[in-house]
Amino acid sequence: MRLILGLGNPGKKYETNRHNVGFMLLDKYCKIYGLEFKKHNNYFWTKKDDVLLVKPRTYMNRSGVAVTSILTGNRIEDILVILDDVNLQLGEIRLRDQGGFGGHNGLKSISTALGTDYFKRLRIGINSPQQEDLSDYVLADFDQKEMIIIDKAIDFCRYLLDEYIKTDYDQLLNYYSKNKKSYSEKIIASQDRK
């Protein structure tokens, strides 16, 4: 079984926070396919084919607790983590199959729980704060103009998840490579309308 883990914080007040793009993507994906999340002690989960889709209930900084809980009850062969990235432009997408945590406490918690940095990541850019404190910035909501761009990013990422679920990570990379240019043009067009 494979695992797609969308990072974020549970609860209404965090729903449209910049830190919650992992949750936003999984929520949109599951809504389109009519999938409903079930509650476990440490996470919400649902399945599509042989892939477990999970949102931790442990809050961002303790995402690793949810991962440990998942690994206890399931045989997981591959992990794809969806997260926000302040080091990428708004709406920019980056795929990596390993790396450091870059100041992201959710990733740090997962790395600690797994004892390795070798797991796949789908990063969605949220821009870096200009003057705000980092934690204030990531826990603030996207504004309306930002949401136009994030919605486009989430729509594109939905197809990336399809490729991953139907095939594997290599095919996801192929799909991304082939379609990145047209996707980037849509993002630029969205930004031009700001």
Q: How many domains does the chain have?
A: 1
8 Å CB contact between 74 and 5: no
pLDDT at residue 194 in the model: 56
Residue 11 has pLDDT above 80, yes or no: yes
State the pLDDT confidence band at 193, using cuts at 50, 70 and 90.
low
With a cut of 80, say whether residue 43 has pLDDT above it: yes
Residue located via tokens 């477990």: 52
pLDDT at 2: 97
Q: Measuring CA to CA, how many Å separate 134 from each of 7, 39, 105, 169?
A: 17, 30, 12, 31
* Residue pLDDT, tens place only, 17-29: 999 999 999 999 9
**Dihedral sign for Cα atoms in the order 29, 152, 23, 95:** positive
Tens digit of each residue's pLDDT (9 = 90 or more) over 120-148 = 999 999 999 987 899 999 999 999 999 99
Residue 171's domain spans which residues? Answer: 2-192
- Model confidence over 49-59: pLDDT tens digits? 999 999 999 99
User: Which residue among 2, 7, 17, 19 is the active-site one?
Assistant: 19
Is residue 19 part of the annotated active site? The answer reads: yes
Residue 50 burial by Cβ neighbours in a 10 Å radius (0-12, 13-18, 19+): exposed
**Mean pLDDT, rounded, of the chain:** 94
- Give the tens place of pLDDT for each residue, 58-87: 999 999 999 999 999 899 999 999 999 999
DSSP string, the chain: -EEEEE----SGGGTTBGGGHHHHHHHHHHHHHT---EE-SSEEEEEETTEEEEEESS-GGGHHHHHHHHHHHS---EEEEEEEETTS-TT-EEEESS---TT-HHHHHHHHHHT-S-SEEEEEE----SSS-HHHHHTSBP-HHHHHHHHHHHHHHHHHHHHHHHS-HHHHHHHHHHHHHHHHHHHHHHHHT-
CATH of the domain at 53: 3.40.50.1470
Q: Flag whether pLDDT at 103 surpasses 80.
A: no
